[in-house]
Amino acid sequence: MATEMPNRNLSGGDATADRWLLAAATWCVLLLPLALMYARAIGDGVLSVIAVLFVIRTVAIRSWGWLKAPWTRLMLVFWVWLMFCTWLMGAPHTLVQAAASVRFFIFVAALETWVLPYPATQRRLWWVVLGSAVWILIECWQQYVFGTNEIGWPRFGDGALTGPFRGPTAGGTYLLLFFPAFLPLCFTLLRRGKLIDKFTVAAVLILAAATMILIGQRMPALLMALGLVVSGLLFRQVRLAVILAILVSVVVLTLLPVISPPVFEKLVVHFTEQMRHFWGTPYGLIFARAVSMIQAHPGVGLGWDGFRNNCMNPAYLAGVPWLPVSDPTSPLGCNIHPHNNWLLIATDAGLVGVALFAALVVLWLTRIRGTTDAQANGRRAGLLVIIFVTMWPIASATSLFTVPNAGWIFLMIGWGLAEAKSGLAGGPELP
């Protein structure tokens, strides 16, 4: 790892201290996926340590060039706007929480400009992510075949496979790992040009997609399907394998009443009922409550955690005339967040915040996609797809600024920006 260190000294002239800072941050990044999978608090701590180390180094060597990037400047504008909305509308303690959210954006900048510009480190992180995805896949199949995972935990009560976890979190975590893990593997195999490798690519995507169906979590399965479609549209090399994976997934879905009745009940029967009576479900009630808040404060929202802190405020219980909600006053319309990234931003920072964050996402995607051939770098392709999928507006999601979800999303964004940066610099592009 020493050969990868940048030849930059701290202000005291001690290059060794600089190397130690980078080494510490690098190990933190490589350990972060495991922490995000199993220890939420530790994951948040690791992420924060990386951000703090980056700030220390920036101040020590007076290297502020990362602030010149367009996305960084827009990020700061969004963060300042969020702070203003929180100061104007939120409770005093939420201002501290809003201020602390800047650590996610600094973390992204640290990955892009300091920790991950090195191809060797990028490859190591990919191996960690691939190993994590394969571990979830293996544990899900073990639980499906033998009834329990390696630790002895059975399926969740509603029939969902939990893989290596106690609760039903396998689907969401597996989705976040799916494309950054398996698409680079597919591109690596396809570059060999052998017929057996093409069959292997199809087998990898088919097995990975079928696993998601058997896990039995609705939104991760739908978003995986969206990601497969996007992958097929963007990258013609994997198009045939993607089509086969989708077709086999449909077959697995039709066979669920035989091969996994609990998953069929949850994935098909329950989902169909939810969609049929959506405005009477908690999801419909939460959506309507969030819209009611946004209509009342379209410009500035309600500040950090605005949805959670104002959920049962009588001012937002009258309902929305143009939404057929069964009971606008129902406590089922309350939750710790509105289960959608864009509703979360709108209730926190208003439609102005939505516009700023949408522009930020466009900048991220444009940068990662780049003007060069993204297919030359499988990691970059996989990261482009998962960032697009996680920012898809028509989806149920956990909180955008709460770990572990925030850790995964901002890890992928920073990693993708670093891949694009090293690609423009002419660095090696494998896998």
Q: How many residues does the structure list for the chain?
A: 431
pLDDT tens for residues 210-268? 999 999 999 999 999 999 999 999 999 999 999 999 999 999 999 999 999 989 988 88
pLDDT of residue 47: 96
Place of tokens 């808040």: 293
pLDDT tens for residues 376-421? 578 999 999 999 999 999 999 999 999 999 999 999 999 999 999 8
Give the range with max mean pLDDT: 42-56, 152-166, 319-333.
42-56
> CB neighbours of 178 closer than 8 A, spacing ≥ 6?
133, 208, 212, 224, 227, 386
Token output for 80: 């300042």
Burial class (CB in 10 A: 0-12, 13-18, 19+), 237: middle
Domain range annotation of the chain = 2-63+101-276+370-424
Instruction: Using the Cα atoms of residue 214, residue 216, residue 218 and residue 220 in order, give the sign of their dihedral.
Output: negative
Q: How far apart are CA 170 and CA 141, in angstroms?
A: 12
Phi and psi angles of residue 211, each rounded to the nearest 5 degrees, phi first:
-60, -40
pLDDT tens for residues 274-298? 888 888 899 999 999 999 999 999 9
Token output for 328: 């606008």
pLDDT of residue 373: 52
Confidence category of residue 430, pLDDT binned at 50, 70, 90: very low
Confidence category of residue 62, pLDDT binned at 50, 70, 90: confident
* Chain mean pLDDT for the chain: 90
> CB neighbours of 366 closer than 8 A, spacing ≥ 6?
none
Contact call for residues 230 and 389 (beta carbons, < 8 A): yes
Instruction: Read off the pLDDT of each residue in 121-126 and give the average, rounded to a whole number.
Output: 96
pLDDT cut 90: percent of the chain above it: 73
| CA distance readout (Å), 270 to 276, 313, 398 | 10, 31, 20
| CA distance readout (Å), 225 to 78, 218, 250 | 31, 11, 10
For the chain, the C-alpha Rg in angstroms (whole number) is 22
Confidence category of residue 423, pLDDT binned at 50, 70, 90: low
Confidence category of residue 92, pLDDT binned at 50, 70, 90: confident
pLDDT tens for residues 176-211? 999 999 999 999 999 888 889 999 999 999 999 999
